[in-house]
Amino acid sequence: MKCILYSELGSDFLVQGLGLHEEEQGSFTGKLGRHEIEITSSPDSLKNQEEVQVIYIGKAEPGPYRDGDILMAGSDDLLDRAFHALDEMEQRGVVVGLSSEADSYQLNLNRDDLNQTTLAWKEKKVPVLCLFMREPVDLEGQAKLVTIIRKVLND
C-alpha cells in the first residue's frame, strides 16, 4: 500500500528519519515495511488520493494539554497502531477532534479545513492518521514523530 506523508513542520526530519531518497521530479520516496512512502509538499494533492493511506503531521496551538503530548485524529485502525507505538515508547497520546464545535468529551483543535478533508477521506474509506505537536517541535519531538510513523507502518 502507498502511504502519503504531509508535514506542516517541514520534511527534512522525515526524509532522514525514514531513509527516503529524492526522485528526479524532486519528490521524496522510499519503502518502509510493505509500504511505499511519498512525501508531498502540497496539502491540496492529498484531497484526491485513493487507494492510499495518509499520515498528516501538523502543528498544534497551545491548549489544554501538556507540552510534549502527541495529539492524534484519524481512522480507528491507524489510531490503534499509534496508541500501541506510544505505549511502547511510554509516551502520552491524546485523541482530538478537528472541528471548532464544542464537545465536552473530547479536546478539539480548531482545524475546520482539515476536518473537512478528513471527512472526505473517511467517505472514500482512505485511512488517515493526523499527528500534532505544539510548536516549537524540537529534535526530541521530531524523533518521536518518526518513531511513531515507523511503528505504525511496520505493523
Q: Number of folded domains in the chain?
A: 1
Nearest to 84 by CA among 54, 129, 118, 126: 129
What is the mean predicted confidence (pLDDT) over 58-79? 87
pLDDT digits (tens, 9 = 90+) for 12-37: 999 999 999 988 777 899 999 888 99
CATH number reported for the structural domain that contains residue 133 in this entry: 3.40.50.1580
Q: Is 102 exposed, middle or buried (0-12, 13-18, 19+ CB in 10 A)?
A: exposed
DSSP 8-state assignment for residue 106: S
pLDDT digits (tens, 9 = 90+) for 48-58: 666 789 999 99
pLDDT digits (tens, 9 = 90+) for 94-132: 888 887 676 656 677 777 778 788 888 888 888 999 999
The pTM of the full predicted model, rounded to 2 decimals, is 0.88
Identify the domain containing residue 100 by its residue range: 2-154
